[in-house]
Amino acid sequence: EPSPMLGGGEDSTARGNRPVASTPVPGSPWCVVWTGDDRVFFFNPTTHLSVWEKPMDLKDRGDLNRIIEDPPHKRKLEAPATDSSDG
């Protein structure tokens, strides 16, 4: 089965800004959403609000950068299956 990366390039821009992964921010109504071009935005499913800037609710979150820097879709690809260390 041919890789979609090798196919016609007309939809590469659409794939770039399409959400590829999201993670809810614990204790808040917000989700962190990653797009295909490695950008991050914030989505509130309650209000259906999407913002590029960090929402006021999340300004004081110390763990937010850790969430952003550890995208689940990248983690699956890079983490070796035999990794049992806690870091």
- Looking at residue 35, which CATH number applies to its domain? 2.20.70.10
- Domain range for 46 is 15-55
Q: Is residue 74 part of a domain?
A: no
The domain total for the chain is 1
Q: Please tell me which residue, 61 or 7, carries the higher pLDDT value.
A: 61
Express each pLDDT in 36-70 by its tens digit. Answer: 988 999 999 999 999 999 999 999 999 999 999 99
Q: Is residue 5 part of a domain?
A: no
What is this structure's pTM? 0.68
Q: 32: closest CA among 51, 47, 17, 48?
A: 51
Q: 39: closest CA among 25, 59, 53?
A: 53
pLDDT band at 34 (very low <50, low <70, confident <90, very high): very high
Q: Is residue 28 part of a domain?
A: yes
Express each pLDDT in 11-30 by its tens digit. Answer: 555 567 789 999 999 999 99
